[in-house]
């Protein structure tokens, strides 16, 4: 048979896209349009605008704002100027973030493992742990401030300590105790992560757990050999999300303290960026530069976490198979 006839015959079998498929694709784009437009207008445009502002000195006047191109001066100010508070602010933020992530992940996983067992009142305890996460963070922080403030202002906790003959504690003015308060508040509101872990634990194969138990394994062997490999992807995802929310802490600091008191220990990076953007005059360009530096630091931390988790490591299993052959 002539090769050309084969080619011609094959081309005859090429199907053109049906009209129904085109309409379905158009409908899909229309449904996705709100999310795409929202991303372009509310995320991408502000990011590009802040990048543009980071190279300018912005002065706000009655008739508007005046921008003066200064190149990399804002970035030089962040890292080299002694009056810059960026280093202390980002250090305090990262210390809080890493400790908070470790506490939240460990606490949520432990509670989820306990609440995954069958016992009387389990559903009620699940609701008790989940409900605080539904309350807005602003309302939660105000309630905690009312509970922990000094006894002169009517703080309930210090009043109870006085009734027990214990000296009152400075929860909101002591540099160490205010961090302890923030960590406890974070654990109080992490019910969503607990629910996610409980749902993930439902997918752990029961037959494998029974097999380990029949072989004489204990609870640690079950967790190490079966539970952890099953929940590892969700655990890693929650770790990333918790890291992001911890770096972006803002409401708790603003409500519990003023200007990062005591001693700027709660002057977290988002508080400083907001302060430079909307409170202090002529520092919007600097705030944009600070925001981009924080973005790059967060990106580096995320890439490192992905690397150690194994997601960015090159899978050379196919190469090994080829070498074996």
What pLDDT is attached to residue 268? 93
Q: How many CA atoms lie within 13 A of 154 on its CB side?
A: 2
Q: Is the pLDDT of residue 219 over 60?
A: yes
d(Cα 119, Cα 133) in Å, to the nearest integer? Answer: 24
Mean pLDDT across the stretch 222-240?
91
219-226 long-range contacts (CB < 8 A, ≥24 apart) are: 223/113
What mean pLDDT do residues 252-278 have?
Answer: 87
- The mean pLDDT value of the chain amounts to 86
Strand, helix or coil for residue 257? coil
Q: How confident is the model at residue 313 (pLDDT cuts 50, 70, 90)?
A: low
Q: Is the peptide bond before 262 cis (omega within 30 degrees of 0)?
A: yes
pLDDT given at position 218: 85
- Distance in angstroms (rounded) separating the CA atoms of residues 284 and 66: 11
Closest CA to 245 of 200, 197, 298: 298
In angstroms, the CA 209 to CA 270 distance is 45
pTM for this structure?
A: 0.84
Q: Per-residue pLDDT averaged across 16-33, rounded?
A: 80
The residues near 289 (Cβ < 8 Å, ≥ 6 apart) are: 54, 74, 75, 77, 78
* pLDDT on residue 319: 47
- For 74-113, the pLDDT digits (tens) are 999 999 888 888 999 999 999 999 999 999 999 999 999 9
Each residue's pLDDT tens digit, 38-70? 999 999 999 999 999 999 998 877 767 788 899
Q: Of 171, 190, 290, which is closest to residue 242 (Cα–Cα)?
A: 190
- Residue 53 corresponds to which tokens in the numbers above? 């502002």
Residue 126 in 3-state DSSP? helix
Which is higher by pLDDT, 7 or 49? Answer: 49
Q: How far apart are CA 53 and CA 69, in angstroms?
A: 9
Q: For residue 33, what pLDDT band results from cuts at 50, 70 and 90? A: very high
Least confident of 15-24, 65-74, 122-131: 15-24
Crossing angle of the two packed helices 228-247 and 284-309, in degrees rounded to 10: 170
- pLDDT at position 318: 45
């Amino acid at each position: 048979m002539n090769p050309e006839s084969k080619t011609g015959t094959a081309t005859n079998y090429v199907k053109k896209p049906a009209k129904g498929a085109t309409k379905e694709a158009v409908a899909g784009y229309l449904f996705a349009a709100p999310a795409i437009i929202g991303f372009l207008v509310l995320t991408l445009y502000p990011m590009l605008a802040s990048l543009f502002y980071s190279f300018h000195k912005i002065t706000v006047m009655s008739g508007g704002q005046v921008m003066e191109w200064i190149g990399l001066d804002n970035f030089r100010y962040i890292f080299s100027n002694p009056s810059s508070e960026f280093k202390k602010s980002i250090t305090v933020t990262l210390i809080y973030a890493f400790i908070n992530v470790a506490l939240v992940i460990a606490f949520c996983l432990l509670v989820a493992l306990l609440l995954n067992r069958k016992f009387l009142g389990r559903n009620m305890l699940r609701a008790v742990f989940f409900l605080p996460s539904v309350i807005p963070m602003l309302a939660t922080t105000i309630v905690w401030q009312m509970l922990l403030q000094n006894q002169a202002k009517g703080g309930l906790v210090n009043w109870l300590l006085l009734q027990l003959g214990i000296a009152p504690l400075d929860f909101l003015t002591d540099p160490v105790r205010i961090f302890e308060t923030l960590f406890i508040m974070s654990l109080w509101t992490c019910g969503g992560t607990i629910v996610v872990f409980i749902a993930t634990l439902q997918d752990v194969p029961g037959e494998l757990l029974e097999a380990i138990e029949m072989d004489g394994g204990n609870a640690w062997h079950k967790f190490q050999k079966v539970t952890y490999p099953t929940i590892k992807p969700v655990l890693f995802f929650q770790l990333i999300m918790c890291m992001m929310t911890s770096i972006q802490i803002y409401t708790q600091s603003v409500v519990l303290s003023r200007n990062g008191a005591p001693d700027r220990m709660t002057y977290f990076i988002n508080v400083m960026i907001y302060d430079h953007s909307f409170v202090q005059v002529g520092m919007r360009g600097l705030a944009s530069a600070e925001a981009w530096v924080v973005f790059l630091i967060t990106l580096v931390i995320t890439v490192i976490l992905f690397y150690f988790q194994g997601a960015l490591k090159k899978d050379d299993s196919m190469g090994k198979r080829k070498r074996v052959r």
